[in-house]
């Protein structure tokens, strides 16, 4: 093949034809990249010698020779002395040239293609436009409403909608679809919706019975329903949904919640609190009322701050449901021994009436002198528990009430 002048930079037709050439498409990636680079360099004039060409392409001479071998075998490049020359594209794009060089590039048989990449792209775009036009030409789907108490279903095609403050009202209805019988006395009078805050909706349907009476059917969805325009309110469904009261309740919750040792970010906890109140309909005062006993239990049991969960986790796991409301204050615990009565009363104020009654109400004085008192517990378990958990508080209460510094505990029997 005779060498030809370099391909011009603006010769876009030849470049596109070269890309669509099936022989070029079978080239290795490195050889294809080299061919495109050679075409770009040829636009500025004849290609330089091998050494300078390798320098221009940022390749070593051995790498240039390796990548040129597939191009020479495919007939797209010729080596003339120490220079590389691009072959005329018109000659190598003919069917005879393609058949002669296809075997040198790849032994696989040449695949038959109906069109090039540009034709396939145009066909794909045409199919997209056709599908979009078909969807736009399709009519609206019919609105089918099954109303309780009516003789048959009411089928209407919604062609227009009026948006008002009270909701959405269906406009004029077209005739019923073919094959569906529509009774003249049955019609959908109005469809109204009312939404407050973020609570679920309640829909009410007003329709006429065959006798001509106006009736209202209320459809309730899952969750806490709210009152529609044609429905009466349900006192059991009342829930505070305002964002301002919910945020105020969270501030009270935040002030009462015990401080954990780690980080307790405010934003996740507030979002979880608002989700419980606004979306799930939980009364915020229920959560606030549950956090006070939890904080008291943490303080009474001396729970280490590292074991206190973050407030967001406490809310997410709904731990407030496991805490009963605070019971009424218990009466001051009493003891059968008058000497222990003031001691137990003091302990009830310090550790709580429940623990004071559980651990100290059954104690008895078995020996007493000005410097030491010996108390008897009903079981060994009670004696050991008092010694481990309340020994310091018991000694302090006895010293404060009776001035006795030594306290001993034994077991009856």
Query: 10 Å Cβ neighbour count for 363?
Result: 23
Strand order in the sheet with 143-145: 143-145, 154-158, 173-174
As a whole number, the mean pLDDT across the chain is 71
Return phi, psi of residue 12, to 5°.
-70, -35
Instruction: Give, in order, the Cα–Cα distances in Å from 377 to each of 219, 342, 369, 402.
Output: 65, 18, 19, 20
Rounded Cα gap, residues 226 and 232, in angstroms: 9
257 class by beta-carbon count within 10 Å (0-12 exposed, 13-18 middle, 19+ buried): buried
- Element containing residue 192 per DSSP (H, E): strand 188-194
3-state secondary structure of 78: strand
Q: Break the chain into its structural domains and give their ranges.
A: 1-138, 143-237, 243-322, 341-411
> In this model, does residue 302 exceed pLDDT 80?
yes
Rounded Cα gap, residues 254 and 241, in angstroms: 19
Rounded Cα gap, residues 233 and 398, in angstroms: 61
Instruction: Enter the tokens of residue 91.
Output: 């000659």
Rounded Cα gap, residues 210 and 184, in angstroms: 9
Residue indicated by tokens 């005062």? 285
Q: How far is CA 277 from the centre of its chain?
A: 19
Rounded Cα gap, residues 183 and 176, in angstroms: 10
For the domain spanning 1-138, the CATH number is 1.10.10
Pair 166, 192: CB distance under 8 Å: yes
Instruction: Enter the tokens of residue 47.
Output: 């290609």
Please tell me which residue, 99 or 35, carries the higher pLDDT value. Answer: 35
For 144-194, write each residue's pLDDT tens digit: 444 444 444 444 444 444 444 444 444 444 444 444 444 444 443 443 344
> In this model, does residue 90 exceed pLDDT 60?
no
Instruction: Give, in order, the Cα–Cα distances in Å from 70 to each of 18, 62, 65, 102, 330.
Output: 15, 14, 10, 11, 97
Dihedral of CA atoms 116, 120, 125, 127 in degrees, nearest 10, equals 150
Rounded Cα gap, residues 327 and 370, in angstroms: 40
Pair 194, 167: CB distance under 8 Å: yes
341-411 classified as CATH 3.30.300.180: yes
Pair 228, 218: CB distance under 8 Å: yes
Cα–Cα–Cα angle for 236, 311, 260, rounded to 5 degrees: 150
3-state secondary structure of 155: strand
Q: Specify the range with the lowest mean pLDDT, choosing from 8-22, 71-85, 100-114.
A: 100-114
Q: How much of the chain, in percent, has pLDDT values that exceed 70? A: 61
Q: Do domains 1-138 and 341-411 have the same CATH topology?
A: no
For 392-405, write each residue's pLDDT tens digit: 889 899 888 888 88
Residue indicated by tokens 């979009």? 132
Q: How much of the chain, in percent, has pLDDT values that exceed 90? A: 9
- Model confidence at 362, in pLDDT bands (50, 70, 90)? confident
The residues with which 375 forms a beta bridge, in sequence order, are 365, 409
> In this model, does residue 270 exceed pLDDT 90?
yes
């Amino acid at each position: 093949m005779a060498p030809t002048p370099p391909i011009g930079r603006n010769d876009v037709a030849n470049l596109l034809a070269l890309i669509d050439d099936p022989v070029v498409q079978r080239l290795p990636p490195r050889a294809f990249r080299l061919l495109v680079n050679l075409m770009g360099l040829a636009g500025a004039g004849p290609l330089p010698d091998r050494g300078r060409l390798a320098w221009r392409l940022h390749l070593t001479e051995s790498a240039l020779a390796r990548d040129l071998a597939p191009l020479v075998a495919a007939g797209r490049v010729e080596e003339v002395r120490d220079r590389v020359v691009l072959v005329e594209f018109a000659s190598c794009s003919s069917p005879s040239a393609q058949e002669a060089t296809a075997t040198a590039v790849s032994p696989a048989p040449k695949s038959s293609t109906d069109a090039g990449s540009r034709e396939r792209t145009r066909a794909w775009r045409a199919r997209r436009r056709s599908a979009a036009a078909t969807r736009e030409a399709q009519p609206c789907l019919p609105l089918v409403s099954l109303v309780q108490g009516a003789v048959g279903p009411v089928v209407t095609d919604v062609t227009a909608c009026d948006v008002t403050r009270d909701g959405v009202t269906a406009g004029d209805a077209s005739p019923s679809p073919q094959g569906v019988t529509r009774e003249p006395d049955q019609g959908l009078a109005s469809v109204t919706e009312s939404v407050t805050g973020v609570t679920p909706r309640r829909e009410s349907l007003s329709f006429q019975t065959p006798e001509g009476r106006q009736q209202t059917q209320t459809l309730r969805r899952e969750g806490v329903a709210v009152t529609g325009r044609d429905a009466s309110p349900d006192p059991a469904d009342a829930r505070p949904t305002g964002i301002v009261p919910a945020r105020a309740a969270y501030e009270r919750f935040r002030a009462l919640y015990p401080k954990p040792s780690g980080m307790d970010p405010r934003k996740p906890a507030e979002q979880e609190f608002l989700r419980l109140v606004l979306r799930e309909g939980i009364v915020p005062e229920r959560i606030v009322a549950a956090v006070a006993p939890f904080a008291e239990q943490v303080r009474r049991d001396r729970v280490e701050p590292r074991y206190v969960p973050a407030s967001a986790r406490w809310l997410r796991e709904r731990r407030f449901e496991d805490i009963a409301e605070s019971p009424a204050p218990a009466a001051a615990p009493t003891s059968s021994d008058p000497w222990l009565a003031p001691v137990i009363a003091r302990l009830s104020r310090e550790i709580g009436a429940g623990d004071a009654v559980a651990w100290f109400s059954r104690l008895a004085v078995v020996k007493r002198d000005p410097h030491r008192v010996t108390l008897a517990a009903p079981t060994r378990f009670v004696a050991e528990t008092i010694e481990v958990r309340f020994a310091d508080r018991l000694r302090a209460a006895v010293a404060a009430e009776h001035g006795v510094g030594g306290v001993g505990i034994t077991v009856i029997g």
